Amino acid sequence: MSKRKVAITGIGLVTPLGNDTQSTWEGVVAGRSGVGPTQSFDASGFSTTISSEVKGYDAADFGASKKSLKFASRGAGFALGAAAQALEDAGVRPEASNAERWGLCVGAGMNSVTYDDLSRIHEHCTDDRGDLVPDGFLSPDFPGNPVDFSRVQCNAGLGILAKEYGIKGYSTSVHTACASGGQAIGTALKVMRRGTCDYILAGGFDSMINPMGISGFCLLGALSTDNDNPTGASRPFDATRNGFVLGEGAGFLVLEDFEKAEARGAHIYAELAGDGNSLSCYRITDSPPDGDGPIQAIHQALADAGVQPSDIDYVNAHGTSTKMNDESECAALTAVMGSHIDTVRVSSTKSSMGHLIAAAGAVEAVVCALGIEHGTAPVSANYKNVDPLCQVNVVKDQSVQMPINAALSNSLGFGGSNSSLVLKSPNFA
Amino acid sequence: MIERKDNIVVTGSGIVCGAGASVDSVWSTIESGQTAVADYEQWDPENWPVKKACEVKESNRDLVPERKLHKSISRTDMYGIYAGERAIEQSGMVQYRDELPEDEQPGYNDRSGIIVGSGGGDLRSNYDYLPLMQEVDRDLPAFGQNLNGMVTPMWLLRNLPNNVLCHVGIRAQLKGTNACITNQIAGGILSISEAAEAIWYGEADRVVAIGHDCLFEPESVFFYHKLGLVSDDTPRPFDQSRSGMVFGEGAGAVVLEKAADAEARGAEVLGQILGHGCVTEATGITEIGDSGDGVERAVRQALENANITPDQIGMICTHGNGTPASDRTEALALQRVFGDSMPPTTSMKWAYGHLIGAAGIADVVMTLEALRRKVVPGIGTLSQIDPDFASLPVSSEHQQPHSDTALIISRGFGGMNVALVVKA
């Protein structure tokens, strides 16, 4: 059975490097850092005071309706901007006649109560030890607004996007932590191949740069504490790396049938050619040092795309800048690529934009599509000291102009989910 | 017509909810006609406008005996792990793997997948931060400074929406394809659709599908009540006097594999997955459309996907959550699809409440049991059917399925509508 060929015809980005595709891509290529002291709240008391924030963003600039904005969390607001760009870019959008043939696959961040919401609960619903007093919710003073509650439902972003654009076909929301965005796009590819949809809006969005999100990561000790060196804090593969930098944002793609896209004269960035998924079954926070887990995901993605390891010119690594992730991922790449590991260029764009968690895989798939489009392997910023356990051909110092026939994008999540995507040049030969 | 090379069968199932922690015990509740919904005990309902729920009675230790794991998971994860492991146990898939030659075991694990529909977490965990807020009087810098020591370092890990995926995966070494679907109510039943597709597509040879949720806690009850979704009455799907859903909690799980594999290893077959449909009505987060268009499209898609016609469906397990709008639109949509020849129809939520993210998969587990027993359970709380859809073939009495094939429907926030077709 031949697999349906699926084209990427629209892309959109909202990231710490810029509020649209163009400015983000320029930042990625320049290796500019989006990291700085956290501005959106007073982070001075936390062990990590830096983050990679989206700056000066307003979803209304992208035409989002007032009603959607009212219900949108910060992360869903990013989704509205990135999705609007992707649809505009593709030049197709759901119409009454084809809305049922449009699908929506999103990787959404974890439910996250806001500090303000929790403060209200604390004010009205606790005793003098801070233990919950349920009857407090019933107090006439408790400002219980159902909009606040709706906003944090696990598929709220999905509901908002479907309504905003009038998408009525297969719709789903996934969350496998840092692999969410990659899995959402992989799911979309499978749904396209099943023939359930003719078009899919697929992507990921997240924002955990708030007191509750930062608290969770600080408690875990996963974030870099290089508060005095924000722009150098995210340094994937570098021997001195010491944790990731939290980012936020969204990336979206429009997928459609390759032949039909060609027929309508659409601009095709790349073919979304392969998806691979595995579970490391090792620890919640890591995959094993020998790369078991990611190895299977990469193998499957290559096989699904019908390519050999030697066909891959560029790898956009998960590369979080934590000790264990980078070590495990490099071991996996080395195992899969064999002798090609010396040739294939590898970078982690988390070096410049930080870790966008549930949005990361989607944003990085877009970066791969742009890399193919522009013939550019983006730089892995801040890479100076070689780690003997990360012996891959890192794109160092500056971005490299080179034809990219096929690219691999990895996303490895807490919980052990590994997602790999293969994108091919539309002229792949 | 879709051509598929493999038939996919169910070789294990598991359930935990307020009506019991096994398929047999939940079935006895349903068959008895007595709902397990009662005044809740998690907190004092006296002043609350809603006093009823269907709470899981089993303790954490009953569900997950390994105490060490309790530090790194929340209550909803316990439900998922429990149901998942009952399904795995019944399927015998791990035991079968362990008897394979050692060099074949890694390959078997790589071809074993897991797909979980997760409610997205446990809101109660947010309350873990309240004593700290009290201590620092909501001063944010002081909150940051005093985190360590006042909140468990495991907080984030305990609340990962994909914990069940991770822990059931580790325990059974399910190293193949996986996904955690956080599509609110739709997630539970979608886990089965996606598990079946993963096998049809060739990504895996067997997949464990689990749905779990534990939304029943004060804040959710307060807001669901404000949204007009939850009732203080016993749930009465399709009844003239129905006034809303009642919270349940729990999990359901199934193991799917290729029919040929199940036969070759002599596994007992509980049923077959024939097809599925999934659409949204694009109505926003909590609204539903007034025509039932989503139900109709999801059902037609599922029938087409299963390659069968409406007259082959012998029983329908509706979403039937007991809210005025959802039941009405669902009934009207089904009447449009099935016309005058609608098969015996029921809803399970009157017996065990609304399991939210676990609702659809729990309904699938119990519908397979109903087909096996050739009984369409009555809706025990139904006394007067709504005249708006008086001919809907629902009853407070048990009925007989017209065939060995059933349709199950699940609806959720986001305008989601999912339908699944199964066969005994």
Among A144, A160, A211, whose Cβ lies nearest the Cβ of B140?
Answer: A211
Which of B43, B153, B226 is the closest to A146 by Cβ?
A: B226
Cβ distance B147 to A177 less than 8 Å, yes or no, reads: no
- Rounded to an integer, the average pLDDT of B94-113 is 98
Q: Which residue has the tokens 């996904």?
A: B179
Q: Which of B280, B287, B413 would best serve as a mutation to test chain A binding (most A beta carbons within 10 A)?
A: B280
> In the prediction, which pLDDT does B8 show?
98
pLDDT of the residue at B175: 98
Residues of chain B in contact with residue A132, where contact means CB-CB under 8 angstroms, are 127, 130, 218
Has residue B1 got a pLDDT over 70?
A: no
User: How far is the alpha carbon of B353 from chain A, nearest alpha carbon, in Å?
Assistant: 20
Q: Do B160 and A177 touch (CB under 8 A)?
A: yes
> Under an 8 A CB cutoff, do A170 and B278 touch?
yes
Residues of B in contact with A151 (CB under 8 A): 285
| pLDDT score for B281 | 98
pLDDT of A264-296, one tens digit each?
A: 999 999 999 999 999 999 998 888 999 999 999
- How far is it, in rounded angstroms, from Cα A9 to Cα A268? 5
Q: Between residues 123 and 162 of chain B, which touch chain A (CB distance below 8 Å)?
A: 123, 126-127, 129-135, 138, 140-145, 147-148, 151-157, 159-162
Structural domain boundaries in chain B = 8-122+159-423
B60 touches A at CB < 8 Å: no
Average pLDDT over residues A326-354: 98
Residue A48 near chain B (CB below 8 Å) = no
Looking at the fold, whether A344 and A200 belong to one and the same domain comes out as yes
Find which of A283, A284, A285 to mutate to test the B interface (most B CBs within 10 Å of its CB): A284
- Per CB-CB distance under 8 Å, the chain B contacts of A138 are 47-49, 222
Are A271 and A403 in the same domain?
A: yes
pLDDT at position B3, please?
Answer: 76
Q: Do the chains contact at B416 and A177, CB–CB below 8 Å?
A: no
State yes or no: pLDDT of B42 exceeds 80.
yes
Task: Look at residue B238 and tell me whether its pLDDT is greater than 80.
Answer: yes
Minimum Cα–Cα distance from B281: chain A residue: A168
Instruction: Give Cα A127 to chain centroid, integer Å.
Output: 40
User: Distance from B71 to chain A by nearest Cα, in Å?
Assistant: 13
pLDDT mean over A219-225: 93
Question: Cα–Cα distances in Å, from B351 out to B49, B163, B363?
Answer: 21, 28, 11
Residue B172 confidence (pLDDT) above 80: yes
B107 touches chain A (CB under 8 A): no
Please list every residue in chain A whose beta carbon sits closer than 8 Å to the beta carbon of residue B123: 111, 113
pLDDT bucket at A2, cuts 50 / 70 / 90: confident
Structure confidence at residue A1 as a pLDDT band (50, 70, 90): low
Which ipTM value was assigned to this complex?
0.97
Q: How far apart are CA A317 and CA A344, in angstroms?
A: 12
Residues A182 and A238 in one domain: yes
Q: Are residues A208 and A302 in the same domain?
A: yes
Chain A with chain B: Cβ pairs closer than 8 A: 296
A143/chain B closest Cα distance in angstroms: 11
Residue carrying structure tokens 């956080």:
B182
Q: How confident is the model over B326-345, as pLDDT tens digits? A: 999 999 999 999 999 999 99
Average pLDDT rounded to a whole number, residues A177-188: 97
**Quick check: A175 contacting B, CB < 8 Å?**
yes
Q: Does A171 touch chain B (CB under 8 A)?
A: yes
CB < 8 Å from A in window 326-385 of B: none
| Same domain assignment for residues A66 and A210 | yes
The string of pLDDT tens digits covering residues B281-321 is: 999 999 999 999 999 999 999 999 999 999 999 999 999 99
**Same-domain check for residues A388 and A347:** yes
- CATH code of the region B8-122+159-423: 3.40.47.10
Residue A91 CB contacts under 8 Å (≥ 6 apart), including other chains: A9, A10, A266
Mean pLDDT, range B180-204, rounded to an integer: 97
Q: Which residue of B has its CA nearest to A151?
A: B285
A377 domain-assigned: yes
Position A429 scores a pLDDT of 77
Tell me the shortest Cα–Cα distance from B180 to chain A, in angstroms.
5
Please give the positions of A annotated as active site.
178, 318, 355
pLDDT at B248: 98
Q: Is A384 on the interface with B (CB under 8 A)?
A: no
Tokens of B22: 């096994």
* Confidence (pLDDT) at B122: 85
- Whether chain A has a CB inside 8 Å of the CB on B109: the answer is yes
Mean pLDDT along residues B250-254:
98
**Which residues lie below 8 Å from residue B80, measured CB to CB, with a gap of 6+?**
B116, B118, B163, B164, B168, B210, B211, B212, B251, B253
Residue A278 lies in a domain: yes
| A168:B181 CB<8 A | no
Contacts of B151 (CB under 8 A, 6+ apart): A215, A219, B128, B129, B132
Instruction: Share the mean pLDDT of chain A.
Output: 97
Print the SS3 string covering chain B: CCCCCCCEEEEEEEEEECCECCHHHHHHHHHHCCCCCEECCCCCCCCCCCCEEECCCCCHHHHCCCHHHHCCCCHHHHHHHHHHHHHHHHHCHHHHHHCCCHHHHHHHHHCEEEEEEECCCCHHHHHHHHHHHHHHCCCHHHHHHCHHHHECCCHHHHCCCCHHHHHHHHHHCCCCCEEEECCCCHHHHHHHHHHHHHHHCCCCCEEEEEEEECCCCHHHHHHHHHCCCECCCCCCCCECCCCCECEECEEEEEEEEEHHHHHHCCCCCCEEEEEEEEEECCCCCCCCCCCCHHHHHHHHHHHHHHCCCHHHCCEEECCCCCCHHHHHHHHHHHHHHHCCCCCCEECCHHHHCECHHHHHHHHHHHHHHHHHHCCECCCCCCCCECHHHCCCCCCCCCECCCCCEEEEEEEECCCEEEEEEEEC
Interface of B with A in 193-222 (CB under 8 A): 194, 197, 201, 203, 218-219, 222
Residue A429 within a domain: no
Given CB atoms, is A277 within the 8 Å cutoff of chain B?
Answer: yes
To the nearest whole number, what is the mean pLDDT of chain B? 97
> Model confidence over A226-278: pLDDT tens digits?
999 999 999 999 999 999 999 999 999 999 999 999 999 999 999 999 999 99
Looking at the domain assignment, is residue A1 inside a domain?
A: no
pLDDT at B386: 98
**What distance in Å separates residue A213's CA from the closest CA in chain B?**
9
Domain that holds residue A126: 115-150
**Taking CB atoms and an 8 Å cutoff, what residues of chain A touch B173?**
281
Q: Is pLDDT at B121 greater than 90 in this prediction?
A: no
Q: By the CB < 8 Å criterion, does B105 face chain A?
A: no
Same domain, A196 and A143: no
Shared-domain flag, residues A141 and A279: no
- Residue B5 scores a pLDDT above 80: no
CA distance A197 to A172: 13
Residue of B nearest to A158 (CA): B414
pLDDT in tens, A86-126: 999 999 999 999 999 999 999 999 877 899 999 999 999 99
State the smallest CA–CA distance between residue B374 and chain A in angstroms. 32
Candidates A118, A153, A280; nearest CB to B413: A153
* Residue A132 and residue A96 share a domain: no
Structural domains of chain A, count: 2
Do both A122 and A104 map to the same domain? no
Q: So what's the pLDDT on residue B131?
A: 97
Substitution target in B44, B50, B132, B162 with the highest count of A β-carbons within 10 Å is B162
Mean pLDDT of B100-108: 98
Contacts of B44 in chain A (CB under 8 A): 134-135
| A296 and A400 housed in the same domain | yes
Tell me, yes or no, whether A35 and A104 share the same domain. yes
User: In this complex, is the C-beta atom of A44 within 8 Å of any C-beta atom belonging to chain B?
Assistant: yes
Chain B interface disruption, residue of A104, A183, A281, most B CBs within 10 A: A281
**Does A166 contact B170 at a Cβ distance shorter than 8 Å?**
no
Q: Is the minimum CB–CB distance between A402 and chain B shorter than 8 Å?
A: no
